[in-house]
Structure 1
Amino acid sequence: MSGKGEPLSAHASPRRVVVYGLGGTIAMTSDNGRGVVPALSAAQLVEAVPGWADAGIEVEVVDFRRLPSASLGFDDLLALAAEIRGRLARGGVDGVVVTQGTDTLEEAAYLLDLFHTAAEPVVVTGAMRNPALAGADGPANLLAAVRTAAHPASRGRGVLVVLADQIHAAGRVRKTHTSGVCAFTSPDSGPLGLVAEGDPWFLSGPTVRFTLDPAAVRARPRVPLVTVALGDDGVLLHGLAGRADGLVVAGAGGGHVPRDLVAPLGELAGSMPVVLASRTGAGPVLRATYAYPGSERDLLERGLVGAGLLDPLKARVLLWALLACGGDRDAVVSAFGRAGGAVHG
């Protein structure tokens, strides 16, 4: 076991963590009975958490955004990544926590991970139950995230996601339920660890990560995601040439599409990077099991790039980041071979 859950009291104190608030369910309150909307500041979130006195952690708070996570964009997250880099460069910080809505948390955490190269951990958390509901999970998630970010065992692990006392790698975690408090899972790898008695216990060593130079970001590419369905005639592919810079296709099963989509996808792959992922939610895109028209082997031979273990949402984030940094098709192939876990011994 790596990182044996030593209490923070066993280390030099006090530790210091910066909390960046982006909004989301964790920061929402009732809007005159019509539903909840983002309203609480990051400072208010921290003040609502019991247990700070026992944690021995100093918390610095930055109210960065107040948005539902579906309204966050790449520019918001790139700005946050730059803010985090600047704050870590000034020193005096052991880790960072980001609070945001869970709808796009898996994508946001992965984008931050791609551009995070410092040893200090960044821990992303949120809530499935807003503060007006019985059993709201926001305070517990925030405390667990802060304690994980402050702990020396979290260093060198990049961006982590902590919810429901589980610790996940940003590159593997997915939201798999619309409202349950245990909505976040890592289907292929399982969680990296857990939080018990207020401290992280890591069950494995740091994951292999792929990172990019944030200084290389120059463009804002368009990268649509098309999910293939039964009887799909490819209407969503029409007109993408010349309008998109890259494409992610979420194929059925191990990476399969109807035969009518084969020709248009092959044509698109000749003009832009087209990444083939699986819509299933777990398991890698296959490479050479099936050979019929529209199979994974057929599509890869036509120039599509396999996503490996990356799900369609993360494949789109990685492709966007690569193109934003000026990457060509060779760079895309290399990156997905590494980030998708497609290297076999």
Structure 2
Amino acid sequence: MGTKAVAILSLGGTIAMTADPATGGVVPALSAHDLLAAVPALQGLDVELRVHDFRRLPSASLGFDDLSALADALAEAFRSGCDGAVVTQGTDTIEETAYLLDLLHPGEQPIVVTGAMRNPTLPGADGPANIHAAVIAAAAPELRGAGAVVVLGEEIHAARTVRKSHTTSPAAFTSPATGPLGRLYEGRVHLHGPLAARTTFAGPTIRAAARVGLYTATLGDDGALLAAMAEACDGLVVAAFGVGHVPEGFVAVLERAAARIPVVLASRIGNGPVLEGTYGFAGSEKDLLARGLIRGGHLDAYKARLLLHVLLGQGRNRDETAAAFALAAH
């Protein structure tokens, strides 16, 4: 099959951190070349690595401009002949970065996002093993058409379903609704089943500064803070209770907001769908959808926010946005 070419783009994060005497903590400092030098097993793979030192940031400081530039760099790498790509970054925002890249990548080449839960100064640092597994995955024919995936701890997770579910565990990444796509062992990708169909929304951005808010429903909230947020937003995602319920005091606020901007109804649970026709009380999913909210379906609130950001940036109207969610969030 010949040597595969894999692009490596590093963004910083725990995987690239070293001790900083000035702060007493660790900070992003290692380059992409430094990261690869710590993985001598890469030399035994029949893979050509094309390395790009893209950013050196903690992942909490990454922004939409960084991710847009990253998507462009990945597209250029694929045009230049790369068969896949690996993105290394901090784990705090991996689930969001991976899903955003997945939405913007219509091609067949896999994008593998990885990082580390233990920085290189700690015993048992997991970065080198994760990089090794990510390169194997990016070059694997089994992942052609998978879009963006997250690989840590030798598990492969779809960008659409993955979540960081623990703050410190090396096994922090899970896909609560589906489980992982597969695993790596003995230097190969092994999938648990066929790849699911993907929905992508690649296209030019004509409204780069769209502001999308995310508001979480909590016990006893009277809706005043929600009203203030809605006024400042171009789009809004509500992380509702359970299957899509909010306090009754939210109802008028959300109806007014939905008449002005797209408002997506998601769940704060992170596993399972927003329903559409089971409950009928004021503030239920049926009531809110009838008032103009857009059903978030199976997308968690964080990913619903990213999809809405992409759609607003592309200038989609409310009906087009609702149709896109119906496709992407089923």
**Aligned residue among 54, 58, 73 for 1:64:** 54
List aligned pairs for 1:157-176, cutoff 5 A. 157-176=146-165
Q: Which digits, 9 at most, give the CA deviation of each residue in 1:232-272, with x for residues without a partner?
A: 11122223455311000000111111111111011101111
The Cα of 1:215 is off from its aligned counterpart by 2.4
**Aligned partners of 1:204, 1:138: CA distance in 2, in Å?**
27
The Cα of 1:13 is off from its aligned counterpart by 3.2
**Aligned partners of 2:224, 2:184: CA distance in 1, in Å?**
47
List aligned pairs for 1:282-301, cutoff 5 A. 282-301=271-290
2:107 aligned partner, one-letter code: A
Counterpart residue number, 1:238: 227
The Cα of 1:216 is off from its aligned counterpart by 4.3
Counterpart residue number, 2:84: 95
Q: Which secondary structure state, in structure 2, belongs to the residue aligned with residue 332 of structure 1?
A: helix
Counterpart residue number, 1:44: 34
Is residue 191 from structure 1 mapped to residue 171 from structure 2 by the alignment? no
Considering Cα pairs closer than 8 Å and 6+ residues apart, tell me whether 1 or 2 has the greater RCO: 1
| 8 A contact 1:174–1:186 mirrored in 2 | yes
Gaps of 5+ in 1: 1-11
| 8 A contact 1:25–1:126 mirrored in 2 | yes
**Aligned residue among 278, 288, 297 for 2:267:** 278
The Cα of 1:218 is off from its aligned counterpart by 3.7
**Aligned residue among 129, 143, 147 for 1:140:** 129
| 8 A contact 1:124–1:160 mirrored in 2 | yes
Q: Which secondary structure state, in structure 2, belongs to the residue aligned with residue 214 of structure 1?
A: coil
Q: Which secondary structure state, in structure 1, belongs to the residue aligned with residue 57 of structure 2?
A: coil
TM-score normalised according to structure 1 size: 0.93
Give the aligned length.
329
Q: Which secondary structure state, in structure 2, belongs to the residue aligned with residue 210 of structure 1?
A: coil
Counterpart residue number, 2:249: 260
1:276 aligned partner, one-letter code: L
**Aligned partners of 2:163, 2:245: CA distance in 1, in Å?**
22
| 8 A contact 2:216–2:240 mirrored in 1 | yes
2:132 aligned partner, one-letter code: L
Is residue 208 from structure 1 mapped to residue 207 from structure 2 by the alignment? no
| 8 A contact 1:169–1:207 mirrored in 2 | no
**Aligned residue among 26, 49, 74 for 2:15:** 26
Aligned-CA RMSD value: 1.2
Is residue 247 from structure 1 mapped to residue 236 from structure 2 by the alignment? yes
| 8 A contact 1:251–1:257 mirrored in 2 | yes
Q: Which digits, 9 at most, give the CA deviation of each residue in 1:12-56, with x for residues without a partner?
A: 232221100000000001112711100000110011013113222
Q: Work out the percentage of aligned pairs sharing the same amino acid.
A: 55
Q: Which secondary structure state, in structure 2, belongs to the residue aligned with residue 51 of structure 1?
A: helix
| 8 A contact 2:230–2:236 mirrored in 1 | no
**Aligned partners of 1:207, 1:51: CA distance in 2, in Å?**
31
Stretch deviating more after TM superposition (31-40 or 143-152): 31-40
Q: Which secondary structure state, in structure 2, belongs to the residue aligned with residue 64 of structure 1?
A: strand
**Aligned partners of 1:57, 1:87: CA distance in 2, in Å?**
15
Is residue 153 from structure 1 mapped to residue 171 from structure 2 by the alignment? no
The Cα of 1:230 is off from its aligned counterpart by 0.5
Q: Which digits, 9 at most, give the CA deviation of each residue in 1:69-116, with x for residues without a partner?
A: 01000110010101111121122x211000001111101111111110
Counterpart residue number, 2:324: 335
**Aligned partners of 2:24, 2:294: CA distance in 1, in Å?**
45
**Aligned residue among 289, 295, 306 for 2:295:** 306
Q: Which secondary structure state, in structure 1, belongs to the residue aligned with residue 251 of structure 2?
A: helix
1:77 aligned partner, one-letter code: L
The Cα of 1:67 is off from its aligned counterpart by 0.3
TM-score normalised according to structure 2 size: 0.97
Gaps of 5+ in 2: none
